C-alpha cells in the first residue's frame, strides 16, 4: 500500500512552505508519493522532482498543477509546462491529453473553494474526481463528489489541499505496486485507486490563517 497526497501547495503559489520543507515533512509522515499542485504553475512540482532526484529521496513525485479554469478549479497531473488560467476545461483537456496527462475535478460543488459548481457539463473531459478534500469542514461537497464519481464511474483521488506542512497527509490516495510517476498516472486513468483520510483539525487551519495575516503585515 502506497500513500499519496495529490493536492499540496508550496510557496510558489499560496502555500507557506518551501518545496524542500514539504518533501522533508512528506518523509516524516511516511508518504510514498506526492504531487505539489500550486495554483497555475508547475514550478514547485518541477523543483520537487529535481530535489528528489539529486538527493535520492525515497519519494515518487508526480508533476502537478491546480488550474483556475473557466468553470472552476481542476487538478492536472503529468504535465511539465504551465497552462494559462481562464481556459475552459475542454481547452485544458485538449492540451493535457497531448501530453498523456490526467485531469481531476478539485473539490467539485464547493463554491467557497472555487470548485466546479456544475460538473455534469464537463464530466466527459476529466479522468478523475477528488472525492475527499481534507480541508472541507462544512457541508456535503465531499459526499456529492463521491456520488458523482460513482454515477459516472470515474477514478477517485483524495488530497489534503495542504497549504502548510502541518496539513500534509490528511487526505490520501492509495496505490498498489507503482514505482514511478507514469505508473501512478496509469493507475488513476484505470481506476485502480482508493481514498482514505480525515479532516484537517480545525485548529491547524486557524493557525495557518493567523500566520498568513501576520506574514502579510510584517
Residue 210 has a pLDDT of: 80
- Lowest-confidence range among 62-66, 67-71, 178-182, 206-210? 206-210
Rounded mean pLDDT, 121-138: 95
**Topology of the domain covering 2-217:** TIM Barrel (3.20.20)
Rounded mean pLDDT, 115-137: 96
Q: Is the pLDDT of residue 213 over 90?
A: no
Q: Is the pLDDT of residue 218 over 70?
A: no
Q: Is the pLDDT of residue 202 over 90?
A: no
Per residue in 64-110, pLDDT (tens digit) is 999 999 999 999 999 999 999 999 999 999 999 999 999 999 999 99
- Lowest-confidence range among 17-21, 84-88, 171-175, 209-213? 209-213
Rounded mean pLDDT, 186-202: 95
> What percentage of the chain reaches a pLDDT higher than 70?
100
Q: Provide the mean pLDDT of the chain.
A: 95
> The whole model's pTM is what?
0.95
Rounded mean pLDDT, 45-54: 98
SS (H, E, C) the chain: CEEEEEEECCCCCCCCCCHHHHHHHHHHCCCCEEEECCECCCHHHHHHHHHHHHHCCCCEECCEEEEECCCCEEEEECCCCCCCCCCCHHHHHHHHHCCCCEEEECCCCCCCCCCCCCHHHCHHHCCEEEEEECCCCCCCHHHHHHHHHHHHCCEEEEECCECCHHHCCCEEEEECCCCCHHHHHHHHHCCCCEEEECCCCHHHHHHHHHHHHHHHHC
Amino acid at each position: 500500500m502506497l500513500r499519496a497526497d495529490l493536492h499540496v501547495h508550496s510557496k510558489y503559489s499560496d502555500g507557506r512552505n518551501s518545496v524542500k520543507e514539504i518533501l522533508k515533512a512528506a518523509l516524516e509522515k511516511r508518504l510514498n508519493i506526492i504531487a505539489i499542485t500550486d495554483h497555475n504553475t508547475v514550478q514547485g512540482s518541477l523543483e520537487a522532482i529535481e530535489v528528489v532526484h539529486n538527493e535520492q529521496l525515497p519519494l515518487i513525485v508526480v508533476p502537478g498543477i491546480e488550474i483556475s479554469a473557466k468553470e472552476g478549479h481542476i487538478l492536472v497531473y503529468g504535465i511539465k509546462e504551465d497552462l494559462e488560467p481562464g481556459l475552459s476545461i475542454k481547452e485544458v483537456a485538449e492540451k493535457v491529453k497531448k501530453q498523456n496527462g490526467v485531469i481531476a475535478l478539485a473539490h467539485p460543488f464547493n463554491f467557497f473553494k472555487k470548485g466546479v459548481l456544475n460538473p455534469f457539463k464537463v464530466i466527459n473531459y476529466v479522468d478523475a474526481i477528488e472525492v475527499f478534500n481534507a480541508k472541507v469542514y462544512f457541508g456535503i461537497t465531499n459526499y456529492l463528489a463521491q456520488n458523482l464519481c460513482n454515477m459516472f464511474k470515474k477514478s477517485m483521488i483524495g488530497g489534503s489541499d495542504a497549504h502548510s506542512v502541518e496539513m500534509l497527509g490528511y487526505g490520501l490516495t492509495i496505490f498498489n505496486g507503482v514505482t514511478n510517476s507514469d505508473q501512478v498516472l496509469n493507475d488513476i486513468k484505470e481506476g485502480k485507486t482508493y481514498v482514505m483520510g480525515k479532516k484537517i483539525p480545525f485548529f491547524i487551519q486557524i493557525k495557518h490563517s493567523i500566520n498568513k495575516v501576520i506574514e502579510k503585515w510584517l
